[in-house]
Amino acid sequence: MSTDHCRIIQLPKIHDERGNLTFIESSRHIPFEIKRVYYVYDVPGGAERGGHAHKTLHQFLIAVGGSFSVILDDGFRKTEFYLNRGYFGLYVCPGIWREINNFSTGSLCLVLTSDFYDEEDYIRDYDSFLAVCHDTVP
């Protein structure tokens, strides 16, 4: 896979003077059925999250509160995204190394995934990831 397959997706935003509302529907707003939801919060200053790739898992990351940067790497090119609005999310396809950093104080990263947790789906060693990327090039 290439980072070209990953993209920012704008979610519906219903404006109301009492406060805005955004929603997400499986396979309608994001390109997969949601099977798991988790969130990352209370990240200490200077800390990074991620640092892995998934073999088959699709993810959608949203900065529900605060902001953070996501660096995506397909083994050949790195692309950085800055998330800071609850109505934009980043779709991350399988086979992409991701690192999340520059968390603002009080930030909240919501992650929707296409499958349940499976440790076997992770590639946690960057050199192993690069070996897989470079072996699959035609």
Domain that holds residue 19: 3-135
Measured in whole angstroms, the distance separating CA 48 from the mean position of its chain's CA atoms is 13
What is the C-alpha separation between 89 and 128, in angstroms, rounded? 28
Looking at residue 4, its pLDDT comes to 87
What does each C-alpha distance from 112 to 17, 32, 78, 99, 119 come to in angstroms? 28, 10, 22, 16, 17
Looking at residue 134, its pLDDT comes to 84
Q: Which residues of the chain have pLDDT under 70?
A: 136-138
Which SS3 state, helix, strand or coil, does residue 34 take? coil
Looking at residue 136, its pLDDT comes to 57
Instruction: Establish whether 134 is a catalytic residue.
Output: no
Q: What is the CATH number of the domain that holds 35?
A: 2.60.120.10
What is the C-alpha separation between 90 and 82, in angstroms, rounded? 9
What is the C-alpha separation between 74 and 44, in angstroms, rounded? 27
Counted domains in the chain = 1
Looking at residue 138, its pLDDT comes to 47
Looking at residue 15, its pLDDT comes to 93
Looking at residue 47, its pLDDT comes to 87
> How open is the CA angle 4-7-8, to the nearest 5 degrees?
160
Candidates 15, 29, 52, 134; catalytic one: 52
